[in-house]
Amino acid sequence: MHKVIFDTDPGIDDAMALLFLDASPDVELLAVTTTFGNGAIDTTTRNALYLCERFGIPALVGRGAGVPLVGQPGPAPHFVHGHNGLGDVALPAVISRTADPRPAHRLIIDMVRAHPHEVEIVAVGRMTNLAMALRDDPGIVPLVKQVVIMGGAFGIRGVLGNVTPAAEANIWGDPLAADEVTAASWPLTMVGLDVTQKTQMPTAYLHALQETAGEAGRFIWEISRFYEKFHNDGGVESIFVHDSSAVAFLLKPELFETRTGAIRVVTEGVAFGQTIQKPDSVSFPPSDWDGRPSHMVCTDVDSEGLRVLYAETLRRLA
């Protein structure tokens, strides 16, 4: 059983990943912690509470950071996730679920200390909450079982960023946080655009989910209409599978190929937000990667296997 903290900025693909975790028989979801990103922190926290209420997800919800470690948040990508972050589907005016009184980073620390060596953190938004948890209590590092991040773009098969040619959105939104999180010696894997753009869910696949995965399937169909239009407008036929790829790595890592090496994140200049791994297999003269822990970066994925895992898992909710 995976004891999971899901750190997220819902977000259409975040919602799809949360329902994936919820449907998995191998996951005990301890907490959903929120960050700014696909919307302001009020929006993403409201969406997390709404999703937990609507789908009866018993996890605690912790409201997290509203700004990066340094500077101010960039504008929310309404053109990707809609003004309400969930594809502009109608949401209730009042949500009864309330957030835990602790800020997200404290909730993360408390959960890790309550379940030493058991907690797995799946982080699919800005890394700000994780960096704040590390700053507050660096002692959690050896107590975390693993961290799986959706973020970054490592240039595998020529893949570029999606905010700038250099930077992927989750990292671009708080590069310093990502650099601090990848400096920590906890088992960490980055599931970047290199693999998340390779896996796509075509309209027919989403339609089949609507027919076979109960209320969750119908909801995924509704919220993905906006997301699909964004992809189509950009010349991509199907939606990319970003955040659910991180969940798939947690559940079935054998679907992925990985490369090990130290990771740095560019925190200023034209390549702001770029993620660069120094592969362990390549030697260089002394550099800024020295002394940093070796982490895994996903370099390939069995996309069809991932789609099958997602659909089979979601169907359990029917």
Binding residues for ligand BDR, per CB under 6 A?
11, 13-14, 38, 80, 124, 150, 162, 168-170, 242-243
Residue 243 Cβ vs Ca ion, minimum distance, rounded to whole Å: 5
Catalytic site residue from 2, 7, 9, 22: 9
Active-site residue flag, 242: yes
> Measuring CA to CA, how many Å separate 187 from each of 42, 81, 123, 228?
31, 31, 13, 34
Q: Are 101 and 60 in contact (CB under 8 A)?
A: no
Distance of alpha carbon 9 from alpha carbon 45, whole angstroms: 8
- Which of 309, 303, 27, 272 shows the shortest CA–CA distance to 148? 27
Q: CB-wise, 140 or 189, nearer to ligand BDR?
A: 189
Using the contact rule CB under 5 A, the part of the chain among 154-162, 173-181, 241-249, 290-298 near Ca ion is 241-249
Cα three-residue angle 281-282-284, rounded to 5 degrees: 145
Judged on CB neighbours under 10 Å (0-12, 13-18, 19+), 13 is: buried
Q: Is 14 in the site for Ca ion (CB under 5 A)?
A: yes
The residue whose Cβ lies closest to ligand BDR is 169
The partner in contact with residue 148, picked from ligand BDR, Ca ion, none with C-beta cut-offs of 5 to 8 angstroms by kind, is none
The answer to whether 233 is a known catalytic residue is: no
209: nearest Cα among 5, 15, 2: 15
In the complex, minimum distance from the CB of residue 150 to ligand BDR, in angstroms, rounded to a whole number = 5
Window of 67-75, 82-90, 239-247, 284-292 that interacts with Ca ion by CB under 5 A: 239-247
- Residue linked to tokens 């895994």: 296
Instruction: Report the alpha-carbon distance of residue 126 to residue 67 in Å, rounded.
Output: 10
- Which CB, 168 or 302, lies closer to ligand BDR? 168
- Mask for 197-236, x = binds Ca ion (CB under 5 A): ----------------------------------------
261 makes contact with Ca ion (CB under 5 A): no
Catalytic center residues: 9, 242
